[in-house]
Amino acid sequence: MSVSAGSDGLSWRNADYFENVIAVDYKIETTEFKITNVHISTAIPKHAGVLSLVHRVLLQVKFQSRSTAKHVSYIVKERIDSDEDHESTGSYCTFAKEIELYTQILPGFEKLWSTENVKFGPRVLKVTMTPFRVIVLEDLKSAGFRTKKSRTGFKTVECEKVLEKLAKFHAASVQYFERRGSFSDQFESGILNDKTIKAHEVYYTPLFESFFQMLEELKYHPKIVQALQPLKGKVYATTCNLFRLDPTKFNVLNHGDLRMTNIHIREYDKLFLNYQTSFFGSPSFDLIYFLTMSTSFCTRIDRFDHLIDHYYKHLKAGLQKLGVMTAIPTQRQLRDDLAAHGFLMCLKSIEALAVTLEMPKLELDMKLFRSTGPEGAEFRRNLYANVQFEKTLERLVMFMWKRGFLTVSQI
């Protein structure tokens, strides 16, 4: 969509709004160029439950220093509701949280790693809170970054690179916390929080019921069935309880949503996007969430220990390099923490497994899979009856059981 180069002051969809974006980006005065055209397209399709619209803006710019016009692109993230609306319903993310992270916290983290020129996300070029609310970010696609468009997830080598960057992010958050004493109240909770239990429990309860029924019908060991029985009807609340902040333990700022679409990759680098669900707490959240939502199934099962060790090696090195005063957890302590929070893998696997399995011949209707009605229950029942799915689930369940992920003490 091409829009006018004029401005009424009530919209960002015009050339005037982007003048200081170009000035900041190119470190020049606004008198040294002229924006002659603005074209806006959808960068990420809108879907149910989305809190922000993401646009790609292509500008045609005539610079005084160039004989021909140049095309420059940016990403505009536009909030489509108010933070007050979401706070009143117990939302775990606000636009103000993401703005604070992009404009204050990430630059602080990157300053700590300045000698290695480590970056954790795209540059922010402009923020507006009224009369509309948008963040203008650099377009990582123009810088050669891309998202992995595979439903099978990251392989081992790719996972190692993501975890190296995550370890640096977590280490920086520890140093940042030490210097400032705390993060703002906005980072007290993320996806898992008490205020959203009622809404999310309605969604997860039927998924867990189908999962539990499958275990019973396939005659899994009674100890496994008995361990999960008390969670029926409160699977989400139980997981929330596991991730309550324990200030006596090792804590970091979690990204909060390390799914593949929020990880942009380039040959020698990885950057994270969408920090709106970040929260301060156990690093186990980011680790389990990433390994569940963004890795290939075989990598998750067969290389889990290797990847956790890889993360720990880089976390320890990062904490030591930054000279933190906080006691560095031992490898054993990290593993114990993962075991204590491991039920998160079960919760997310219930919905994520179907889309991460390498089963090209399986007809998958995700809308039906997520349905809370009887038609959804029947679809999941038939899905679990698939021989390949059954074998895959057996590997996953036994993997989680042996690591204690299905034994929840805090019920």
Q: Residues 149-189: pLDDT tens digits?
A: 766 789 999 999 999 999 999 999 999 999 999 999 999 98
CB 401 within 8 A of CB 358: no
Pick from 50-64, 329-343, 371-385, 387-401 the range whose average pLDDT is largest: 329-343
pLDDT of residue 82: 55
Q: Give the sheet arrangement for strand 70-79, strand by strand.
A: 2-3, 33-44, 52-63, 70-79, 134-138, 124-128
pLDDT at 279 over 50: yes
% of the chain with per-residue pLDDT over 90: 62
pLDDT of residue 30: 96
Determine which of 56-65, 252-261, 293-302, 357-366 has the lowest per-residue pLDDT on average.
Answer: 357-366
pLDDT of residue 191: 85
pLDDT of residue 52: 80
Amino acid symbol at 394: E
CB 190 within 8 A of CB 285: yes
Average pLDDT over residues 1-27: 80
Phi, psi of 186 (to 5 degrees): -60, -20
pLDDT of residue 150: 64
Read off the pTM. Answer: 0.90
Average pLDDT over residues 385-411: 83
Determine which of 23-32, 115-124, 289-298 has the lowest per-residue pLDDT on average.
Answer: 289-298
Secondary structure (DSSP) of 259-276: -GGGEEEETTEEEE---T
The b-or-e profile of 31-68 (16+ CB within 10 A means b, else e) is eebbbebbebeebbeeeeeebbbbbbbbbbbebeeeee
Tell me the pLDDT tens digit for each residue of 82-130: 554 454 444 555 788 899 999 999 999 999 999 999 999 999 999 998 8
pLDDT of residue 48: 45
pLDDT of residue 91: 54
pLDDT of residue 4: 45
pLDDT at 292 over 50: yes
* DSSP three-state, residue 399: helix
pLDDT of residue 362: 54
pLDDT of residue 354: 62
Average pLDDT over residues 194-219: 88
Can you tell me the distance from the alpha carbon of 380 to that of 370, in angstroms, rounded to the nearest whole number? 9
pLDDT of residue 283: 98
Residue 2: pLDDT band with limits 50, 70, 90: very low
Secondary structure (DSSP) of 210-279: HHHHHHHHTT--HHHHHHHGGGTT-HHHHHHHHTS--TTS--EEE-S---GGGEEEETTEEEE---TT-E
pLDDT of residue 64: 94
Tell me the pLDDT tens digit for each residue of 239-253: 999 999 999 999 999
pLDDT of residue 58: 98
Residue 3: pLDDT band with limits 50, 70, 90: very low
β-sheet bridge partners, residue 73: 58
pLDDT at 379 over 90: no
pLDDT of residue 202: 87
Tell me the pLDDT tens digit for each residue of 29-54: 999 999 999 999 998 876 544 568 99
